Amino acid sequence: MERSLETQVSQAVDAWLAWLPRWEPATHRGRTAPCRRCFGSPVLSAAGLGADVPHGVQHGLSTRIKTIVDRSVAEYTALNLPMLQTELDQQAARNRARSYRPGEGLDPEFEGLPLDPEPVPGAPFLFTIAGLAEEADAHVPDLPPLTEEAKAALRQEVGLADDYANMVGREVCTILLHHRLRIQAAVGEFVEPQIEAMLADLTKSLDAPFDPHDPGEAPRLE
């Protein structure tokens, strides 16, 4: 039996809530570029996860909700948009032919994130995961070119798919409004205490820049 959109959203929130107690603040240097999936997301706004919530917390929920929208659009496309469906099938077959697909099969908390850390000026990487994936992709033949008529028809079907995705997205956001209280309660229970502890540790380190156990003398301020 097909699950309703309300059921799918509720189950996605349940799964995110089950994961949230395992979240810990990142200790590595973060990326400066904003996440295109999460930055300004109406889904996160509907869920009540604002800019003051760490991105790692946001991303797991936005990815789970995106999966619901993508699944709905895929079903609509299969039933109503034959040219787009054919193009997607061909692209999927081409992707399966690649020998290295590091972006597939990831947990929602990591799906869609950059595969490599942000480069440091003057310290180039010997190799990158994204670079290895590009090398594997280069060995797979390109799809056959489309005629101008086919391109025009495909653009029209892509537009219809986008319209449907926007419609489903708006409905999902409306459903998420009913889950805001438990989402925010979970953030208050599992996320905010860790952030407060980090800020407290930072304050202590700023107030006491010298190790109290260091036998050496602190420099005199004269």
pLDDT of residue 218: 46
Mean pLDDT of 18-28: 88
Residues 6+ apart with CB under 8 A from 70: none
Instruction: Extract the tokens encoding 169.
Output: 């997205």
Average of per-residue pLDDT values in the chain: 90
How do the domains of the chain map onto residue ranges?
5-24+33-98+144-200
pLDDT single digits (tens) 141-179? 999 999 999 999 999 999 999 999 999 999 999 999 999
> How far apart, in whole angstroms, are the C-alpha atoms of residue 200 and residue 205?
9
Residues 6+ apart with CB under 8 A from 68: 5, 8, 9, 12, 168, 172
pTM as predicted = 0.85
pLDDT single digits (tens) 112-127? 999 898 888 888 899 9
> How far apart, in whole angstroms, are the C-alpha atoms of residue 216 and residue 219?
9
The number of helices, as runs of H, and strands, as runs of E, in the chain is 8, 0
Looking at the predicted structure, is the pLDDT value of residue 210 above 60?
Answer: no
Task: Please report, as a single letter, which amino acid is at residue 113.
Answer: L
